[in-house]
Amino acid sequence: MYEITPTQPFLVGIDSDGCTFDTMELKHKECFIPNIINHYNLQAVSKYARECAEFVNLYSKSRGINRFPALIEALEWLQKRPEVLARGVKIEIPPSLRQWVKEETKLGNPALEAKVKATGDKALAECLAWSKAVNKSVDEMVRHVPPFPYVDASLKKLQGRADMIVCSATPNDALKKEWSEHRIDQYVTAICGQEVGTKKEVLVNSQKYAPSHTLMIGDAPGDYAAAKANNCLFYPINPGNEDASWKRFHDEAIDRFLNETFAGDYQKQLLAEFDSYLPEKPSWKGVA
């Protein structure tokens, strides 16, 4: 587990995909979903598999969760689709995968590889093959995607006032590649991806700072949950309205955070707005 040594009076955790970079649609639509369809033999219901995976990873309150529980949730939605049932396609979710996701906190390829080696479980081996294929696709596909406008300016504004760490469910190698490509890694103390631990675990570092001196920036309900669990403030990057969210952060929210006027009514206003952006249930017919 990463442990920070405070050098500034404030701490800011920053999510990456969909929050710092406009990479969520690219990664999921071009990298994750084609590999789900291929590795889980969903060619006969590819349209519905795509809809389910997009809903889970992009357009619902599950947005931004780790890839392994997201895979399970997408398959669960697919099981319920009447169109899939009508085509006689059976969607199976391996019990061993459910159990591993339930037990493991560092949900990344190294932990899964160790589990496969220890058990020889074929379903977990296939999941590992899928995850590695996703990483290969991301490495080949994702390039030249700059941070959202006002990200660089915001990090510069915080520099020298707050310690900053990347707090993400993305693999570390991809995070380091993307943050260094655009030279914004210079602002952060550490890059903490899925191999380091969950966002909730990484934000335990907030306990080393004074109350109201810690903040998480994220684009998904899971980011807020991790912040709330550690008594951190939360600034939302609203999905589909990211440019305006970052401009408001730069022009307004940073000063409120550093001046300790962020908590209270301002935080409540931000959270109410954020909650309106993502639904809990899909709009498909026939799904309860």
In terms of C-beta density within 10 A (0-12 exposed, 13-18 middle, 19 or more buried), how is residue 139 classed? middle
User: Do residues 41 and 62 lie in contact, with contact meaning Cβ atoms separated by under 8 Å?
Assistant: no
Mean pLDDT computed over 42-50: 97
Mean pLDDT computed over 116-140: 97
Which residue, among 191, 154, 151, has the nearest Cα to 174 in the 3D structure? 191
Do 220 and 210 have their domain in common? yes
Give the integer Cα–Cα distance in Å for 160 and 203: 20
User: Is the residue at 169 inside a domain?
Assistant: yes
Q: Which two tokens stand for residue 50?
A: 């795509």
Which residue, 106, 141, 176, sits at the end of a domain? 141
| Dihedral in degrees, nearest 10, Cα atoms 56, 57, 61, 62 | 80
285 pLDDT higher than 80: no
How high is the pLDDT of residue 153? 98
Do 217 and 252 have their domain in common? yes
Confidence band, pLDDT 50/70/90 cuts, at residue 2: confident
Q: 174 has which bridge partners?
A: none
Do 50 and 75 have their domain in common? yes
141 pLDDT higher than 50: yes
Percent of the chain whose predicted confidence (pLDDT) is above 70: 98
Give the integer Cα–Cα distance in Å for 101 and 287: 25
Mean pLDDT computed over 100-116: 95
User: Do residues 32 and 130 lie in contact, with contact meaning Cβ atoms separated by under 8 Å?
Assistant: no
Confidence band, pLDDT 50/70/90 cuts, at residue 212: very high
Give the integer Cα–Cα distance in Å for 187 and 133: 31
Mean pLDDT computed over 33-50: 97
Give the integer Cα–Cα distance in Å for 18 and 118: 35
Give the integer Cα–Cα distance in Å for 3 and 204: 9
**Which DSSP symbol is given to 278?**
S
Do 49 and 66 have their domain in common? yes
User: Is the residue at 250 inside a domain?
Assistant: yes
Q: Which two tokens stand for residue 171?
A: 């693999």
Give the integer Cα–Cα distance in Å for 170 and 192: 9
Which residue, 126, 141, 156, sits at the end of a domain? 141
Sequence-distant (≥ 6) Cβ neighbours of residue 200 within 8 angstroms: 225, 226, 229, 230
Do 30 and 137 have their domain in common? yes
User: Is the residue at 132 inside a domain?
Assistant: yes
Mean pLDDT computed over 264-280: 95
Give the integer Cα–Cα distance in Å for 127 and 190: 29
10 pLDDT higher than 60: yes
Output the average pLDDT for the chain.
Answer: 95
Mean pLDDT computed over 150-174: 96
Mean pLDDT computed over 94-110: 95
Do 209 and 219 have their domain in common? yes
Which CATH number fits the domain that encloses residue 205? Answer: 3.40.50.1000
Do 207 and 133 have their domain in common? no
Give the integer Cα–Cα distance in Å for 256 and 236: 14
How high is the pLDDT of residue 197? 87
pLDDT digits (tens, 9 = 90+) for 58-70: 999 999 999 999 9
Do 18 and 152 have their domain in common? yes
Do 28 and 51 have their domain in common? yes
How high is the pLDDT of residue 210? 94
pLDDT digits (tens, 9 = 90+) for 19-32: 999 999 999 999 99
Which residue, among 226, 31, 48, has the nearest Cα to 130 in the 3D structure? 31
Q: 21 has which bridge partners?
A: 17, 147
Do 19 and 30 have their domain in common? no
Confidence band, pLDDT 50/70/90 cuts, at residue 161: very high
170 pLDDT higher than 80: yes
Structural domain range at position 177:
10-23+148-275
288 pLDDT higher than 50: no
Which residue, 141, 169, 187, sits at the end of a domain? 141
User: Is the residue at 90 inside a domain?
Assistant: yes
Confidence band, pLDDT 50/70/90 cuts, at residue 219: very high
How high is the pLDDT of residue 179? 97
Do 104 and 209 have their domain in common? no
